[in-house]
Structure 1
């Protein structure tokens, strides 16, 4: 009980940590000016995380994933635990799920989630 009390006290004394938004191409996800986007995901070999790329029609360079990765406030790629983890992030940022399809002909299935921007 004492530990909980002191942790809460410390949070109020030092302030809650500032939550910064994730970005794509240095644009906050909620500010991407497109009607539709697609989350493309592949399970990593460990099976515990997903390699996620975002396609919203942007021009990308060959062999460069810089333009397709979600970054945190420090500019590092965000790691997702599952496709639903990525979907939840985008839903919190003004997108809604439309449909999903899977390409299972590859060694590791590739998941494609289509999202639409809500009219917030």
Structure 2
């Protein structure tokens, strides 16, 4: 009996884990507001402005109904949830959701995202 074994070596590209933070404002305790202002910090800025505004395909700011809607949006683009916390600044809750994704090239950080620098 003869047994033939074939092996293939695949060159996998090394992956790098990158992190992002969704920042949400405009919510209240009962979540009665219909829109949450969401920005995303991809950790790429050297200046004081460190977050992006998310834009739709027409270049308009995306208005999310909740942070979960924003997370679903990011999840569709490969981001995974890690942790959430709230910081209150001047009686305003700022929601922070930490995310990650594994990439093989730094240009993949913004893949699937249409963003502009926050003013």
Q: TM-score, normalised by structure 2?
A: 0.61
Instruction: Give deviations 1:82-110, integer Å, cap 9, x for gaps.
Output: 00000000111101100001013532211
Matched, 1:51 2:34: no
More strand per residue: 1 or 2?
2
Give the unaligned 5+ runs of structure 2: 1-15, 105-119
Point out the structure with max Rg over C-alpha.
Answer: 2
Matched, 1:82 2:60: no
Instruction: Give the C-alpha shift of residue 76 in structure 1.
Output: 0.7
User: What is the 5 A alignment of 1:1-120?
Assistant: 35-43=18-26, 47-59=33-45, 68-118=52-102
**How far apart, in 2, do the equivalents of 1:49 and 1:34 lie?**
30
More helix per residue: 1 or 2?
1
Q: Which has the higher contact order (CA 8 A, sep 6+)?
A: 2
Whether the aligned pair in 2 keeps the contact of 1:38 and 1:115 (CA below 8 Å) is yes
Instruction: Give the C-alpha shift of residue 44 in structure 1.
Output: 5.5
CA RMSD of aligned residues (A): 2.9
Q: TM-score, normalised by structure 1?
A: 0.60
Instruction: Give deviations 1:48-99, integer Å, cap 9, x for gaps.
Output: 110111001122766x79x611111111111110000000001111011000
1:9 aligned residue: none
